[in-house]
Amino acid sequence: ISGIGIIAAGAVVLANASDFNHFAGNGLIGPPIVLIVAGIIVFVIAFLGCFGAIKESYNMLMAFAGLLLIIFIVELAVGIAAAVYKNDFHNALNGTLRNTMDNYSNAPDKIAWDNIQQKFMCCGVEGPSDWKTRGQQQVIPLSCCHAHEETGNEIDNDCVNNGVGKYSYKIGCYEKLKLQINSNATVLIGVGIGIAFIE
C-alpha cells in the first residue's frame, strides 16, 4: 500500500510542477520522478517479500530486508533534498521569471507567462508594475487582466492600457509560484520521510 501512496504523491507533485516547469527548469521534476520510481520498486519488493514469507525462504526475506533498506535511504534522501534545496529553487525561479519576462516577445516565454498569469491569477514577477518598465505598446499583457464580472468576456481597456483597475491581477507570480513550490516540497518531505519511517 505504501508503494501506491508513494506513486500517487509523486504523480501529484509532478503534475503540479509541470505547470511552471518552463520557469523552474528540470530541477523540480527530478524528486517526484525519483519518488514514483521508488514507489514502483517498493510495490515490487513488497510483492517479493510476501512471496518469500509464503515460501518461508530465508534468502528471499533477507533480500527483501536489504532492498527495503535501500528504498528507505532513497526516500529519506528525497525528503531531505526537498527541504534543503527549497530556497535554491526559489532563487532560481525568481531569476528565471525576470529573464523570461525580458524575452516576452519570444513565443515559448509568452505562452508560459500567459498560462501562468491566467492559471495563478497573478501579474509580473512582483506585481503588474514589473511590466510597465518594458516599454511595450501595452502596459501589461492581456493575461494580467480578467474579464468583466458583469459581461464575463470583455477585458477592461483601463487594465491593459494603464495596468490598473479592479480587473487586473495585483499579486506577483513569484509569490504564487513560491507557494506552489512550498506545497509540493511539503508533500515530498512528508512522503519521503514519513513513509520511509513507516517502512
Lowest mean pLDDT among 20-24, 70-74, 109-113, 178-182: 20-24
User: Does pTM top 0.75 for this prediction?
Assistant: no
Mean per-residue pLDDT of the chain:
79
Could you tell me if 181 and 89 are in contact, meaning their C-beta atoms sit under 8 angstroms apart?
yes
Residue 164 binned pLDDT confidence (cut-offs 50, 70, 90): low
Cell, residue 47: 510483492
- The candidate with the shortest Cα–Cα distance to 88, out of 30, 47, 146, 143, is 30
Ramachandran area for residue 109 (φ above 0: left; ψ -120 to 50: alpha; else beta): alpha
Three-state SS letters, the chain: CHHHHHHHHHHHHHHHHHHHHHHHHHHHCHHHHHHHHHHHHHHHHHHHHHHHHHHCCHHHHHHHHHHHHHHHHHHHHHHHHHHHCHHHHHHHHHHHHHHHHHCCCCHHHHHHHHHHHHHHCCCCCCCCHHHHCCCCCCCCCHHHECECCCCCCCECHHHHHHCCCCCECCCCHHHHHHHHHHHHHHHHHHHHHHHHHHC
Residue 172 in this model has a pLDDT that exceeds 90 = yes
Lowest mean pLDDT among 27-31, 53-57, 71-75, 169-173: 27-31
